[in-house]
Amino acid sequence: MRDLIITENITIDGVIDAAENWFGPAGSGDADQSDMIAAIAEQREAADAFLTGRVTFEAMRSYWPKHVDDDEAGVAEYLNRVHKYVVSATLEDPAWEPTTVLRGPLDEEIAALKDTPGADVVVTGSITLVRDLVAKGLVDEYRLFVYPVVVGRGARLFENATQVPPLELVETRPFRSGVVLLRYRVR
C-alpha cells in the first residue's frame, strides 16, 4: 500500500498560504539552500505520484513546463515526468501528461490510488484538497518545511481541523537557511 504524504511550506505560526510572499527570508540573499534542495530531491525520488487540486494543478501547468532550463532544483523535470492526479469535477483536458483526473468521491478515489502498486503519493499546496484529505483521515505522513517567519494571517494547514489523529515525530532536519523539516507519521 502506498503512503499519502502531505508536503507543505509553512511558517512557524502555521500559515501555508503564500499570498504574503513569505518564502523570501530563507531563500533570499546569500542563503545556502543546497542542503534543502538535496532533501527535496530525495523526497521527490521516493514518490512516483503527485496529487493536487485543480487550481494548484492549473497554476503549475502554466509555469513549470516552461522552466525546465532555468530550474536548478529539478522541480520542472520531476513534474513533467511524474504521474499527476488532479481532483476535479470540472477539468476536462489536463493538457499535461501524464495526468489522470479523479472525479469520484474523494475517499474512494484516494483509497484506490493508495492500493495501486508504486511509491509515495505526494500532495503539496492545494489547501482545500489537503484539508479534505486530513478531515477524511487519508493522510499517512506530514512533511512540513517550517520557515522562520511569522505572518500573522493567512490560510493555516490545520485551521478548524478536529479529526487529526495522534502524530509521531519521525524526523527533524534543520537546514543552513534557517528552514527546518519536521516529518510526522500518523500513528
pLDDT tens digits, 102-148: 998 999 999 999 999 999 999 998 999 999 999 999 999 999 999 99
CB 53, CB 129: distance < 8 Å: yes
Note the helical H segments in 75-143.
75-81, 106-115, 127-135
What is the Cβ-side half-sphere exposure of residue 55, based on CA atoms within 13 angstroms? 6
pLDDT (tens digit per residue) in 11-20: 999 999 877 7
CATH architecture under which domain 4-186 falls: 3-Layer(aba) Sandwich (3.40)
User: What global pTM score does this model have?
Assistant: 0.91
Note the helical H segments in the chain.
24-27, 34-45, 54-63, 75-81, 106-115, 127-135
CB 41, CB 122: distance < 8 Å: no
What is the pairing mode between strands 47-53 and 99-102?
A: unpaired
